Amino acid sequence: MTVNGHTNGAAERPKTGIKVIVVGAGFGGLGAAIECHRQGHDVEIYEAFPELKTLGDIISFGPNAGRIFYRWSNGEVVRRMRPLSIDLRKYGFNIHKYDTGEIVINQKTPQYAEDAPNFNGHRGELHEVVFNYARDDLKIPIHLGHKIQTYFEDDKQSGIVLEDGRRVSSTLERKIAADVVIASDGVRSKARKSVLGYEDKPKSSGYAVWRAWFPNKDMLADPETAHFCNNGDTFNGWIGPDMHFLFSTIKNGSDCCWVLTHPDEHDIDESWSFPGKLSEVKQALKEWDPMCTRIISKTPEDMLVDWKLVYRDPLPTWVSPSGRILLLGDSAHPFLPTSAQGATQALEDGVVIAVCLRRGGKENVPTSVRAHEKIRYDRVRQTQKTGESTRDMWHKTNWDEVKKNPEIIQFPRQEWIFDFDAEKNAEEIYDNVVKEILAA
């Protein structure tokens, strides 16, 4: 079956006639748009950024995201993402004790199924692959430079209001209507107010992450660090009291990337990241294995970012009162990086809403949107919590216990998270979930 010249991995769906507006072209918004397209809806994306920029650094996708990517043109998108992603089949993950530097365990990388791969790579580079696939392969309209101010809805439709002075196409219309709006506008969502009816400010999680991505030149020049870069990809983690330092080399060791999670009580401003200072990082690591400081020292200071980890209490609902605006991805549920599931869960959201809308049809959009929430809510909550539990497990390590049983310090890989097929599950339980909603 082909869609615009590409097989899309599912039987070609008839058009549903459902008009969907997606706000935000992050992984959440792009994934939702691609899945809506696959399921036969008419979808357009509105994004505030005036142009695509390859922003960010390391991002993770679990095999439960790989299974989604794999369905996009029969593995074509996966083939494009693979060379950009880390390959740890040989190296695994070395976990070090923070002070002595000793490797307490080498965690092997599982052999993932071909149709459910995992990816760790540069956010901007992977994002570009998905963005180009949506825009160029699928021809999904992506309107850049369109910042959404407010949202509206009634029983028949919902829509967006663009910032003053903005036009859509050649009309003067600033209000655009659809059957449903998917608001994937990130952790500082404006849509949240439309859905919740009140301002909900994110708070500090009590932690921040210093992070950097840079070329391997200075690492190669130092005989003590060259081995991280001249023999393929590597992944090392140093775990210590209230901090952890993760260092990887990617794309055959040519790029280096590290993240250092540390306590930080700063309040959050509008920006998601700030320039970082190497001297502060070195200060934080002064009691740690000198190798950590050696790696840090190779980082060009202008590539260092201080990323405040925003967190919030779980929202009571992701659905607006009339059921035609849905919060998706980080706008609904920000994740801590220690879950390594934030972007993956945003993708699962997109899969499920697209299936629900098709199953319900154009006449039942609000019920479908509520079914989506019911299908997703508990799974997302449980997955979110793993971010806290893994962080706390690492930051409060009992080293005597680790000596006896080093496996307890491994990064948890839960089957209920990884082996999940969001599309299959939604198809299976949709009817029953709707029955429950209608009976309530």
Ligand X SMILES: Cc1cc2nc3c(=O)[nH]c(=O)nc-3n(C[C@H](O)[C@H](O)[C@H](O)COP(=O)(O)OP(=O)(O)OC[C@H]3O[C@@H](n4cnc5c(N)ncnc54)[C@H](O)[C@@H]3O)c2cc1C
**Catalytic residue numbers?**
211
128/147 Cα distance (integer angstroms): 20
220/249 Cα distance (integer angstroms): 12
30/57 Cα distance (integer angstroms): 18
Least distance between ligand NAG and beta carbon 232 (Å): 6
148 or 220: whose CB is closer to ligand X?
148
399 or 411: whose CB is closer to ligand X?
411
150 or 252: whose CB is closer to ligand NAG?
252
142/161 Cα distance (integer angstroms): 16
Q: For ligand NAG, which residue of 149, 230, 382, 398 counts as binding (CB under 6 A)?
A: 230
1/13 Cα distance (integer angstroms): 10
Binding mask 300-329 for ligand X (x = CB under 6 A): -----------------------------x
Least distance between ligand X and beta carbon 273 (Å): 7
Is residue 56 a contact point for ligand X (CB under 6 A)? Answer: yes
CB 318 within 8 A of CB 327: yes
Name the one range near ligand X by CB under 6 A: 53-61, 218-226, 246-254, 373-381: 53-61
312/57 Cα distance (integer angstroms): 23
Is residue 24 a contact point for ligand X (CB under 6 A)? Answer: yes
Q: For ligand NAG, which residue of 9, 40, 66, 253 counts as binding (CB under 6 A)?
A: 253
Is residue 65 a contact point for ligand X (CB under 6 A)? Answer: no
Closest listed residue to residue 167, CA positions, set 145, 150, 184, 182:
145
Strand partners, 21: 44, 181
121/112 Cα distance (integer angstroms): 16
Kindly identify the residues of this chain, within the stretch 120-139, that bind ligand X according to CB under 6 A. 123
Is residue 226 a contact point for ligand NAG (CB under 6 A)? Answer: no
In angstroms, the Cα distances linking 227 to 50, 230, 253 are 41, 5, 9
| Tokens at 4, concatenated | 């615009």
Kindly identify the residues of this chain, within the stretch 334-373, that bind ligand X according to CB under 6 A. 337, 342-343, 346
Strand partners, 61: 119
Least distance between ligand NAG and beta carbon 202 (Å): 41
Residues whose CB is less than 8 angstroms from the CB of residue 29 and which lie 6 or more positions away in sequence, other chains included:
22, 23, 45, 47, 182, 184, 185, 328, 329
Q: For ligand X, which residue of 190, 244, 359, 372 counts as binding (CB under 6 A)?
A: 190
Is residue 273 a contact point for ligand NAG (CB under 6 A)? Answer: no
226 or 437: whose CB is closer to ligand NAG?
226
253, interface contact from ligand X, ligand NAG, none, CB < 5-8 Å by kind: ligand NAG
Least distance between ligand X and beta carbon 262 (Å): 17
190 or 370: whose CB is closer to ligand X?
190
158/163 Cα distance (integer angstroms): 17
123 or 359: whose CB is closer to ligand X?
123
329, interface contact from ligand NAG, ligand X, none, CB < 5-8 Å by kind: ligand X
346 CB burial (10 A radius; 0-12, 13-18, 19+) = buried
CB 60 within 8 A of CB 338: no
Could you give the angle at which helices 342-360 and 422-439 cross, rounded to 10 degrees? 60
Closest listed residue to residue 363, CA positions, set 439, 440, 434:
434
134, interface contact from ligand X, ligand NAG, none, CB < 5-8 Å by kind: none
Least distance between ligand NAG and beta carbon 230 (Å): 4
With contacts defined by CB under 6 A, how many residues of the chain interact with ligand X? 30
Q: For ligand NAG, which residue of 7, 74, 204, 252 counts as binding (CB under 6 A)?
A: 252
Name the one range near ligand X by CB under 6 A: 4-12, 54-62, 286-294, 318-326: 54-62
46/409 Cα distance (integer angstroms): 43
Least distance between ligand NAG and beta carbon 253 (Å): 6
In angstroms, the Cα distances linking 1 to 12, 13, 138, 332 are 6, 10, 14, 34
Least distance between ligand X and beta carbon 174 (Å): 13
Binding mask 181-220 for ligand NAG (x = CB under 6 A): ----------------------------------------
Strand partners, 6: 3
Residues of this chain that interact with ligand NAG (CB under 6 A) are: 230, 252-253
Residues of this chain that interact with ligand X (CB under 6 A) are: 23-29, 46-49, 55-59, 123, 147-148, 184-187, 190, 329-330, 337, 342-343, 346
